[in-house]
């Protein structure tokens, strides 16, 4: 990655003050680097030359290079954070992005699996499974029953499993406690027991067959294979199980505020995307409750 002006201090700011994840920090740094390559600015004295006109020119170049509206707006967010950082440290007198709006993002409804598809394959005898199959089952059930993110699952430690609940370290190092079912609790206790028998000394909850901490591609591949086998979804990622968790919770009567807390969303607007899925539930209630609904 090519260093840009104040790149080191900006990275420290994102990590120490904004408390962003490493994945987010890398994305922000790449976005800002891309802008500096476009603008040609390489000296502190040239920062004042960055105007809203330059910013709009960069937006046009991104769109012309087939970036999606969502990607363009994420890059704008990265730049806006960077310029605010410069202004805060008196390297800039104004934010050149003031008044600059990004393209309207297309709204895509989250995909989710049907309950019957998931239930049909996860009701198995734990004792009959190999360690690899047991690990896959643990990951599937954790994603579906708690709605945690991929990074949160990888970051789970053995000690995070408590009596009928798990402790999750989410975005910006924010902790939350998620209740779990008796069945999932028993599955996790059994998994820890098997790991002990195999003399795995890792502090991390989910391990490979060699006792090492799992990594994103490992988890993605396992979940992708599972969802591809039991559903006809176009996208078969761990995040689909997070969407499925939220959708099924909503359809079975959970409130948005509750789902927001369980998912670890910072605000309710991020959770409201799941309200689309409750229409089937509303239709069902209407048909039962209204005198003429059943007709």
At 94, is the pLDDT very low, low, confident or very high (cuts 50, 70, 90)?
confident
What pLDDT score was predicted for residue 152?
96
Residue 14, exposed/middle/buried by CB under 10 A (0-12, 13-18, 19+)? buried
Buried b (16+ CB within 10 A) or exposed e, 151-186: bbbbbbebebbeeeebebbbbeeeeeebebeeebbe
C-alpha gyration radius of the chain: 23
Please state which of the ranges 35-44, 111-120, 222-231 shows the lowest mean pLDDT.
111-120
Summarised one tens digit per residue, pLDDT across range 43-65 is 988 898 899 889 999 999 999 99
User: What is the DSSP-derived secondary structure letter of residue 90?
Assistant: T
**CA–CA gap between residue 216 and residue 185 (Å, rounded):** 24
Torsion of CA 169, 173, 176, 182, to 10 degrees: 0
Sheet holding 165-169, edge to edge: 161-162, 165-169, 175-179
Summarised one tens digit per residue, pLDDT across range 212-263 is 999 999 999 999 999 999 988 888 999 999 999 998 888 888 888 999 999 9
**CA–CA gap between residue 71 and residue 53 (Å, rounded):** 20
- pTM given for the model: 0.69
Q: Express as a percent the part of the chain with pLDDT over 70.
A: 88
The larger pLDDT score, comparing residue 286 to residue 45, is at 45
Q: Which active-site residues does the annotation give?
A: 149, 171, 239, 242, 265, 274
Question: What residue has token string 């700011």?
Answer: 13
Structural domains of the chain, ranges and CATH numbers in brackets: 7-88 (1.10.150.130), 115-285 (1.10.443.10)
* Mean pLDDT rounded to a whole number for the chain: 88
């Amino acid at each position: 990655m090519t260093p840009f002006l104040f790149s080191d201090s900006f990275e420290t700011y994102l990590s120490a003050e904004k408390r962003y994840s490493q994945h987010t920090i890398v994305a922000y740094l790449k976005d800002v680097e891309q802008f500096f390559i476009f603008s040609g600015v390489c000296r502190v004295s040239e920062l004042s030359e960055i105007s809203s006109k330059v910013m709009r020119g960069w937006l046009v170049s991104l769109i012309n290079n087939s970036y999606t509206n969502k990607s363009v707006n994420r890059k704008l967010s990265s730049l806006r954070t960077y310029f605010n950082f410069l202004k805060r440290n008196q390297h800039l007198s104004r934010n050149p992005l003031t008044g600059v709006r990004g393209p309207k993002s297309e709204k895509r409804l989250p995909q989710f699996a049907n309950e019957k598809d998931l239930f049909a394959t996860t009701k198995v005898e734990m004792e009959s499974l190999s360690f690899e199959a047991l690990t896959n089952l643990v990951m599937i059930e954790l994603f579906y029953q708690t709605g945690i993110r991929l990074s949160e699952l990888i970051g789970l430690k053995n000690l995070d499993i408590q009596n009928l609940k798990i402790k999750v370290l989410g975005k910006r190092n924010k902790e939350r406690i998620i209740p779990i079912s008796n069945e999932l609790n028993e599955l996790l206790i059994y998994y820890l027991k098997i790991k002990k028998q195999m003399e795995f000394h890792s502090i991390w909850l989910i391990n490979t067959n060699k006792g090492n901490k799992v990594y994103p591609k490992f988890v993605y591949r396992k979940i992708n294979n599972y969802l591809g086998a039991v559903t006809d979804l176009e996208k078969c990622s761990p995040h689909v199980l997070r969407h499925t968790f939220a959708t099924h919770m909503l359809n079975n009567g959970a409130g948005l505020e509750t789902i927001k807390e369980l998912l670890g969303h910072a605000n309710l607007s991020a959770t409201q995307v799941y309200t689309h899925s409750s229409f089937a539930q509303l239709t069902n209630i209407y048909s039962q409750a209204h005198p003429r609904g059943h007709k």
